[in-house]
Amino acid sequence: MELQSLRLVNYRNYTDLTLNFSDGVNVFLGENAQGKTNLLESIYVLALARSHRTSSDKDLIRWQEKEATISGRVKKNISDTPLSLHFSNKGKKARVNHLEQSKLSQYIGQLNVILFAPEDLELVKGAPSVRRRFIDMEFGQMNPLYLYNTTQYRRILKERNAYLKRLQMKQTTDTIFLDVLTEQLVDIGSQVLLARQTFLERLEVAAQPIHAEISNKRETLTLKYQTSIDFEKGTDLSTIKAVFEQTLKKQQTREIMQGSTLVGPHRDDIQFIVNDNDVAVFGSQGQQRTTALAIKLAEIDLMQQETGEYPILLLDDVLSELDANRQTHLLLAIQDKVQTFITAPTLSDVARQLIHAPKVFHVQQGEIVLEEQVE
């Protein structure tokens, strides 16, 4: 998969910008607050129809403008597809091949990206919500059904919580409608649980050899799926549904008292274990970074296995956060394999030595100057 070109109109600090890219490594160099990360963000938004930096689409529109557009051309093995997103105060419109998509779930997956930024170290040591979002964003790109199910789950969960709040406040005493919502939550939620378990098993298999190589065979990484629904690996969907339903029944009195759904995929977490220790609690900063790097690199191969195409890799100021050993493993892993976009103030000596013929763009106050390729 390759992003051949990108056009931004009234996006962040760009009035009207068109760029053509190399199918290898593309580098955006510049000081902070010049617009490097805005460029990487726009590629992420083009892929996922949402930003990783803000929950408000209005933030993406240039100051004092009313609308913005991101468009690009994506090359796959057998197709060449134009994509575009238009943002305004009326919402956003997504187009594939110039045809407007009625649902974003039909749009997402046309361009697959993996983002690795300094804050992704929080994947290991951050809050459970960070890891849930990681699962949903990455697996959602690979599997449209999973993306649909998670959207439906959040909708039903919101409705169920609202009704539990009504029961808590004694605005109603009828639990029949609660039973209906519970049945819907169990049906969709069980599919989400099974899909997450499967995804994490595959991710573990892909990440283990990468982690072992980066740690010079001194460490072994395992992933443990932590969920409030107690089921074992290999459990089938019908069993998960039965366990989920039984768990909710046991919690119903407490849920009404608290006005909130207490169990389900929205409470899930992932535990990263290195040499039998929880790396978030007992691991050094180096071990935490090795784990995060191994997971991100494993995603590349896993996405290729699931979709038949390698994703695009976005590295936002991450090289400066890695030592020479981890930089080397990262750059060798992506060389001649995936189209990559890197932002950095400057390229390290390691990067200059390992990246073959990068296309380098210098960014200053929203202006782009192309550097001659370095052989």
In this structure, which long-range contacts are made by residues 271-278, counting pairs with CB atoms below 8 Å and at least 24 apart in sequence?
Answer: 271/223, 271/224, 271/226, 272/124, 272/221, 272/222, 272/223, 273/221, 273/222, 273/223, 273/224, 274/211, 274/219, 274/220, 274/221, 275/219, 275/220
Residue 19's nearest CA partner among 37, 2, 3 is: 3
Helix, strand, coil fractions of the chain, as percent rounded to 5: 50, 25, 30
Annotated binding site for ATP: 30-37
Whole-number Å distance between alpha carbons of 161 and 248 = 13
Is residue 100 within a helix (H) or strand (E), and if so which, with residue range? strand 99-100
Whole-number Å distance between alpha carbons of 129 and 154 = 14
Whole-number Å distance between alpha carbons of 349 and 126 = 31
Q: Are 6 and 21 in contact (CB under 8 A)?
A: yes
Whole-number Å distance between alpha carbons of 60 and 38 = 9
Residue 41's nearest CA partner among 27, 30, 31, 54 is: 54
Structure tokens at 326: 């981890």
Annotated binding site: 30-37
Residue reference for tokens 């290195």: 274
